[in-house]
Amino acid sequence: MKVPLAMTGLSVIVSGEIISGVYPEILSDLSAKEKCSFELSIVPRARLEMMFENGQADILIPATRTPRRDRLGFFVPLISNRAMLISVQEKTTPVRNFKDLLEQRDTKIAVVRGFDYGEKYQAFLKELQKRNRLRLEADPVSVARLLKSGAADYTLMAPSIFAGSVQIDERVTDLEDKLQYQPLQELTWGESGVYFSKKSLNAADLQVLQDIFERAANDGLIWKGFQRYYKKEFLKDSIRPRDTTR
C-alpha cells in the first residue's frame, strides 16, 4: 500500500532518511501484526492531498474528516480532535470566533497549505485571502517561524501538531513556553483518522484495511501512541480517544 506522509509534529517526524512518530510507528506495528505492507514516503502536505485525490496514494493518514475527503475515500476514525487559534502570548487579545479575527484588520494568519478543518475553515481562509491577510506555508515549522518573526500573528491548527513541530526544530524551540491556545466557536471537535482511496483500492483491499484500522482504534493502539509521544497538556484540549461505543 502506498502511504505518502507529510511532516506533522510528533505524529510524523522526519530526520534524514528516518521516518518516525505516532503514525509511522503504528503503521510499522500493523505491518508486522497484520502482514500488510505499507510503503512510506515523505511529501509536502499539499502534494499529499493532490496524490490522494488523483489515486496516487492508497492511504491518507492522519486526516481530519471533511465532506470533500469523504467524496474521495472511505474513512475510519481513530481519534477525536479540534484545531485552535494559536499565537505568541504577548501579541494576543481575546478572540471567540472568526468574526473577531476578521475585525482585527491588521493581523495576518498563517496556515499549512493542505490542512483542512472543514467547510467553515475553508470559507474563512478564502475571506482572508480576499483581504490579503493569509499566509500559506508548506509545513508547521514554517508557520512557527512566521509567528516568531512577527510576519504572522496567528495560526489555526491542532495544538498537538504545532507544539510537536516546535519541540523538534531548534529554530523555533524557544516559542514552546510562549504559545497561547484559544478555542473558537467554528472549530468544533471532529474526527481524525485514516482515509482509503476509492480510486486506487479494490473492494477486497478496502474491507481488509477498514477491519485492520477499526481493530487498532478499538484496542486503543492509536491513543497509546499519542500518549507516548505528546505531553499531557498538549493532548487535553485538542485530542481525545474516539468514541468506541458508536
Each residue's pLDDT tens digit in the chain (246 positions)? 999 999 888 999 998 889 999 999 999 999 998 888 999 999 999 999 999 999 999 999 999 999 999 999 999 999 998 999 999 977 557 899 999 999 999 999 999 999 999 899 999 999 999 999 999 999 999 999 999 999 999 999 999 889 889 988 899 999 989 999 999 999 999 899 999 999 999 999 999 999 999 999 998 889 999 999 988 877 877 888 886 544
C-alpha cell at 226: 499519542
Contact 64, 117 (CB under 8 A): yes
Contact 64, 81 (CB under 8 A): yes
Provide the angle, in degrees to the nearest 10, between the axes of the packed helices 203-218 and 221-229: 60
Candidates 145, 90, 79, 80; CA nearest to 112 is 145
C-alpha–C-alpha distance, residues 17 and 213, integer Å: 26
DSSP string, 155-208: EEE-HHHHHHHHHH-TTTGGGGGGEEEE--TTS--EEEEEEEETTT--HHHHHH
What is the 8-class DSSP label of residue 103?
H
Report pLDDT for 230.
86
pTM as predicted: 0.85
Report pLDDT for 160.
87
Contact 197, 57 (CB under 8 A): yes
What is the 8-class DSSP label of residue 60?
E
- Conformational region of residue 78, where left means phi above 0, alpha means psi within -120 to 50, and beta covers everything else: alpha
Name beta bridge partners: 110: 135, 155
